[in-house]
């Protein structure tokens, strides 16, 4: 069975579509939904340490990330010796969000894409034009920087349960594509 790791954003590992994806991906893909401290008031160093404790860097690593988890996933790839990394990023952003100044410190320094790009073999980014949290153009910019397949939906918001996303068949399809 292929192993993948899910890095959530400012929700928790048990929110939104994450538990559904874990079950829906079986038996092909075993997803480990990571635990991250203080998701409402995240501190970058604490999240980086938590990810490091839960994932051993290895070639062929598969990361699924949502929202603030996306920059965390990119930093993980940047900081470790990994080849053939595969990424599924949903609602990705790497810039400060004016509506969420409490995340400003988390956003610096910016990921070093010149170090990340050579480590990635497959990547897909899913975003929505009506995302009220992370402007979809941020996802477009990241997709260009990592040469990811980009899926822009007209509707989907930030892909939260409050946006109707307790299941996410598109994420399952795209995960299957990058995992194989």
Structural domains of the chain, with CATH = 2-179 (3.40.50.1820)
- For the cut 90, the answer to whether the pLDDT of residue 7 exceeds it is yes
Residues 7-22: what's their mean pLDDT? 96
What does the alpha-carbon distance between residue 12 and residue 10 come to, in Å, rounded to a whole number?
Answer: 7
Q: Which two tokens stand for residue 145?
A: 């920087």
- For the cut 90, the answer to whether the pLDDT of residue 68 exceeds it is yes
What does the alpha-carbon distance between residue 66 and residue 36 come to, in Å, rounded to a whole number?
Answer: 13
What does the alpha-carbon distance between residue 152 and residue 139 come to, in Å, rounded to a whole number?
Answer: 9
Q: Active-site positions?
A: 67, 131, 158
Going by the DSSP 8-state scheme, the letter that residue 12 receives in this structure is -
Reported as a pLDDT band with limits 50, 70 and 90, residue 89 is very high
What does the alpha-carbon distance between residue 78 and residue 82 come to, in Å, rounded to a whole number?
Answer: 9
Neighbours of 110 (CB within 10 A): 11
Q: Considering the chain, what percentage of its residues have pLDDT values greater than 70? A: 100
- For the cut 90, the answer to whether the pLDDT of residue 1 exceeds it is no
Can you give the length of the chain in residues? 180
- For the cut 90, the answer to whether the pLDDT of residue 38 exceeds it is yes
Return the higher-pLDDT residue of 66 and 98: 66
pLDDT at 60 (0 to 100) = 97
């Amino acid at each position: 069975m292929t192993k993948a790791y899910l890095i959530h954003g400012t929700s928790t590992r048990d929110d939104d579509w994450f538990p559904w994806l874990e079950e829906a991906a079986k038996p092909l893909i075993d997803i480990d939904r990571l635990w991250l401290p203080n998701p409402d008031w995240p501190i970058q160093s604490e999240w980086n340490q938590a990810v490091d404790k839960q994932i051993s860097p290895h070639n062929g690593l598969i990361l699924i990330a949502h929202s603030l988890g996306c920059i965390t996933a990119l930093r993980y790839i940047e900081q470790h010796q990994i080849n053939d990394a595969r990424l599924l990023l949903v609602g990705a952003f790497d810039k400060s969000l004016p509506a969420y100044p409490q995340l400003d410190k988390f956003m610096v320094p910016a990921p070093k894409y010149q170090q990340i790009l050579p480590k990635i073999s497959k990547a897909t980014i899913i975003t929505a034009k009506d995302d009220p949290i992370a402007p979809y153009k941020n996802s477009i910019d990241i997709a260009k920087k990592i040469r990811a397949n980009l899926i822009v939906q007209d509707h989907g918001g930030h892909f939260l349960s409050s946006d109707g996303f307790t299941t996410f068949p598109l994420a399952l399809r795209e995960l299957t594509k990058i995992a194989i």
